C-alpha cells in the first residue's frame, strides 16, 4: 500500500474508522423510542455474556458456575460457559474499570471495533481508493451492524478479524520486513483469537506458510507446526470451556459407538448442510453472505491453481483459504447451516478476507462484494427492525425490578462458599427469559433441558417448574422458599461441597 500519509489522508482514515460508530448511532436514533440508556439484553446468550462479565468484574474467578446441565470446564478454577473465558474476562476487566450497566457492552463494541479499524489503517496504510472501498465495505457490513448493539460476541470477533487482517497485510507484502516483536505479537494475537473462537486457529497455517523461510522451515515443517498449534488450540479450549452438546459432540459419540455409524452420521449431516446452503427457504442476508464466502474461496483457489511466480499471490490465497475455505468445510461437516448460526460464524471470516482483498487492490472482487451487500439492504432493514431491535429498547423494567425484589433477600453471593454454592439451576425455558439478568452478580447460572438427565443437583439455588421439581426432588433435598415471576425458588440443602 501507499507508504506516506498526508493530512487529508489521515482525515479520510479517521472518517472511515468512525463509520461503524456512525451507523450504530443512526440505527439507534432513527428507531422510534430507542435510546441507548434504555437498552436491555434480550437473548439467552446475551444474558449469559452480560452476567459472566458482571461476575468476573465483581469477584474474578471466584464466582459461580455458568454451565449446561451442571457440567463445568475440566480446569476447576474456570467457571465460565461453553464459549470460553476470554470474552467475559475482557469485558469483566473493562467493567471493573468503568462500571457495568445494561447498555455498557454495545458501547464497548463500538469502541473496540473503531480502534481495530484505526489499527488497520495505521498498519496497512491504504491509499485513497482503498480507503474509499474500505469505507463502503464497513458501511455495508450487515453482520457487524446487526450485532453491534447487542451483547453477542460478534462485534468482538469482527474487531479481531480486522486486527489480524492488518497484520497479514504486512506478511503478504513482505514477510522478511516485519520485526521479530511484531511477528511475536501477531502469533500471540492469533492464539488469543483462537481461544476466543476456535476457527481463528486455522490462521496459523498462513502465518507459518508466510514465514517459513524466515523461520528456517520447509513446507512440511510449516504445515506440521500449524497443525500442532491448531490441535493445541482445540485441546486447550476444551479444557477451559464448559461442555456443550452440539453437532460435533453428537458425531463424536456416534464414532465412539461405531465407525460406520459415525461416517453415516457425518455424511447425513453434510448432505443436509449442503442442501440448506443455498436453499430457497433462507433469508437474502444468509444466502448473500454464503455466496460471498464462496466467491472469495474461488478467487483463492484460482490464485493457488495458477501457481504464478508472484509469491504475494500465493500468500494472499493462503489467508483466504484458511479464513473462508476452512470455515465453509467445517461448518458443513461439523456445524449448523441455518438461521443466524452460520451467519454469525461467517461474518468475521468474510470481513478478514475482504480487507485482504482491499489491501491487494482487487477492485472488481471488492466491488462485487459491495454490490452484494447493497442488494440485500432491504432484508437488512427488515432484520434490524423485526429481529434485532425488537423489544431491545422497550423492556418492561417493572417486571425485572419485581423479580429482583423477590430473589434478593434469598439469593446472595457468598465469597466464603465454593462455586456451586454460588450457582442457580434453571430449566432451559427460564434461561431464555431476559429477566434472568436480575440474578445477583457473582451467582453463576446453570441451565438444563431435561431434569431426568441430571443425576443430582449441585447448585445451591434453583428456580423450577413443577414437573422438573418432581424429578429432581428424588435425588436432592430441595426446600421450597417462594414463588417468583420465573418459577418456584428452592434452596438445595445438600449442594456440592467441592469445586
Give the Cβ contact number of residue 129 at 10 Å.
13
In angstroms, the CA 347 to CA 354 distance is 11
Q: Give the span between the Cα atoms of 151 and 102, in whole angstroms.
A: 9
Contact present, 39 and 108 (Cβ < 8 Å): no
* Cα 376–chain centre separation: 23
Q: Are 69 and 446 contacting, i.e. CB atoms less than 8 angstroms apart?
A: yes
Residue keyed to cell 425485572: 400
Cell of 296: 472469495
Residue 396 binned pLDDT confidence (cut-offs 50, 70, 90): low
Task: Sort 488 into a burial class: Cβ within 10 Å, 0-12 / 13-18 / 19+.
Answer: middle
The pLDDT, as a whole number, for residue 417 is 92
Q: Where are the beta strands (DSSP E) in 338-406?
A: none
* Matching residue, cell 444468509: 286
Residue 16 has a CB neighbour count (10 Å cut-off) of 24
**pLDDT score of 310 more than 90:** no
Query: Above 70 in pLDDT, residue 5?
Result: no
Per-residue pLDDT reduced to its tens digit, 414-473: 999 999 999 999 999 999 999 999 999 999 999 999 999 898 999 999 999 999 999 999
pLDDT digits (tens, 9 = 90+) for 214-273: 999 999 999 999 999 999 999 999 999 999 888 877 888 888 888 888 898 889 889 989
What mean pLDDT do residues 157-181 have?
96
What is the distance between the alpha carbons of residues 112 and 107, in angstroms, rounded to a whole number? 9
Alpha carbons 488 and 480: distance in angstroms, whole number: 7
What is the largest distance, in Å, between two alpha-carbon atoms of the chain? 74
Which SS3 state, helix, strand or coil, does residue 484 take? strand
Helix (H, G, I), strand (E, B) or coil at 1: coil
Is pLDDT of 45 > 60? yes
Q: Whose CA is closest to 349, among 314, 379, 322, 383?
A: 322
Express each pLDDT in 336-349 by its tens digit: 888 899 999 999 99
Q: What is the pLDDT of residue 96?
A: 85
Residues comprising the chain, all counted: 499
Instruction: Give the Cα separation of 332 and 265 in Å (integer).
Output: 13
8 Å CB contact between 158 and 112: no
CA distance 304 to 316: 9
Say which residues have a Cβ less than 8 Å from residue 241's Cβ, sequence separation at least 6. Answer: 73, 78, 80, 81, 82, 83, 84, 85
Which pLDDT band, with edges at 50, 70 and 90, does 1 fall under? Answer: very low
The stretches of 78-218 forming alpha helices (DSSP H) are 86-98, 104-124, 128-139, 142-148, 154-173, 180-196, 204-211
- What Cα–Cα distance (Å) separates residue 259 from each residue in 98, 248, 269, 270, 299? 52, 15, 15, 16, 36
Instruction: Specify the pLDDT at position 447.
Output: 96
Amino acid at each position: 500500500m501507499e507508504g506516506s500519509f498526508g493530512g487529508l489522508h489521515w482525515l479520510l482514515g479517521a472518517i472511515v474508522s468512525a463509520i461503524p460508530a456512525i451507523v450504530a448511532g443512526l440505527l439507534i436514533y432513527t428507531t422510534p423510542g430507542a435510546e441507548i440508556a434504555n437498552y436491555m439484553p434480550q437473548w439467552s446468550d446475551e444474558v449469559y455474556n452480560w452476567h459472566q462479565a458482571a461476575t468476573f468484574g465483581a469477584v474474578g474467578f471466584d464466582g459461580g458456575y455458568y454451565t449446561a446441565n451442571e457440567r463445568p470446564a475440566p480446569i476447576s478454577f474456570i467457571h465460565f460457559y461453553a464459549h470460553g473465558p476470554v470474552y467475559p474476562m475482557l469485558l469483566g476487566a473493562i467493567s471493573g474499570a468503568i462500571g457495568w450497566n445494561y447498555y455498557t457492552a454495545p458501547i464497548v463494541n463500538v469502541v473496540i471495533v473503531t480502534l481495530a479499524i484505526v489499527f488497520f489503517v495505521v498498519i496497512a496504510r491504504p491509499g485513497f481508493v482503498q480507503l474509499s472501498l474500505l469505507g463502503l465495505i464497513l458501511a455495508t457490513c450487515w453482520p457487524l451492524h446487526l450485532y453491534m448493539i447487542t451483547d453477542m460476541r460478534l462485534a468482538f470477533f469482527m474487531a479481531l478479524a480486522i486486527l489480524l487482517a492488518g497484520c497479514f497485510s504486512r506478511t503478504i507484502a513482505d514477510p522478511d520486513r516485519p520485526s521479530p516483536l511484531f511477528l511475536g505479537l501477531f502469533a500471540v494475537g492469533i492464539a488469543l483469537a483462537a481461544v476466543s473462537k476456535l476457527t481463528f486457529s486455522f490462521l496459523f497455517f498462513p502465518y507459518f506458510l508466510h514465514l517459513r523461510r524466515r523461520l528456517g522451515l520447509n513446507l512440511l515443517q510449516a504445515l506440521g507446526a500449524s497443525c500442532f498449534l491448531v490441535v493445541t488450540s482445540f485441546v486447550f479450549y476444551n479444557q477451559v470451556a464448559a461442555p456443550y452438546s452440539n453437532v460435533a459432540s453428537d458425531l463424536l459419540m456416534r464414532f465412539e459407538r461405531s465407525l460406520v455409524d459415525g461416517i453415516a452420521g457425518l455424511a447425513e449431516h453434510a448432505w443436509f448442510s449442503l442442501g440448506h446452503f443455498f436453499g430457497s427457504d433462507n433469508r437474502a442476508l444468509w444466502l448473500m453472505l454464503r455466496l460471498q464466502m464462496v466467491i472469495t474461496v474461488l478467487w483463492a483457489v484460482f490464485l493457488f491453481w495458477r501457481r504464478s511466480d508472484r509469491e504475494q499471490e500465493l500468500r494472499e490465497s493462503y489467508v483466504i483459504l484458511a479464513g473462508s475455505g476452512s470455515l465453509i468445510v467445517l461448518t458443513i461437516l461439523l456445524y449448523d447451516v441455518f438461521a443466524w448460526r452460520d451467519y454469525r460464524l461467517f461474518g468475521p471470516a468474510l470481513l478478514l478476507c475482504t480487507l485482504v482483498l482491499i489491501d491487494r487492490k482487487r477492485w472488481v472482487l471488492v466491488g462485487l462484494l459491495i454490490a452484494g451487500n447493497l442488494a440485500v439492504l432491504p432484508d437488512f432493514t427488515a432484520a434490524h427492525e423485526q429481529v434485532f431491535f425488537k423489544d431491545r429498547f422497550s423492556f418492561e423494567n417493572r417486571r425485572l425490578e419485581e423479580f429482583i425484589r423477590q430473589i434478593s433477600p434469598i439469593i446472595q453471593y457468598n465469597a466464603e462458599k465454593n462455586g456451586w454454592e454460588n450457582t442457580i439451576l434453571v430449566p432451559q425455558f427460564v434461561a431464555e427469559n431476559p429477566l434472568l439478568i436480575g440474578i445477583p452478580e457473582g451467582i453463576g447460572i446453570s441451565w438444563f433441558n431435561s431434569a431426568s438427565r441430571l443425576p443430582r443437583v449441585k447448585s445451591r439455588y434453583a428456580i423450577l417448574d413443577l414437573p422438573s421439581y418432581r424429578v429432581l426432588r428424588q435425588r436432592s433435598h430441595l426446600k421450597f422458599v417462594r414463588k417468583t415471576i420465573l418459577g418456584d425458588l428452592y434452596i438445595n440443602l445438600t449442594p456440592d461441597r467441592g469445586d
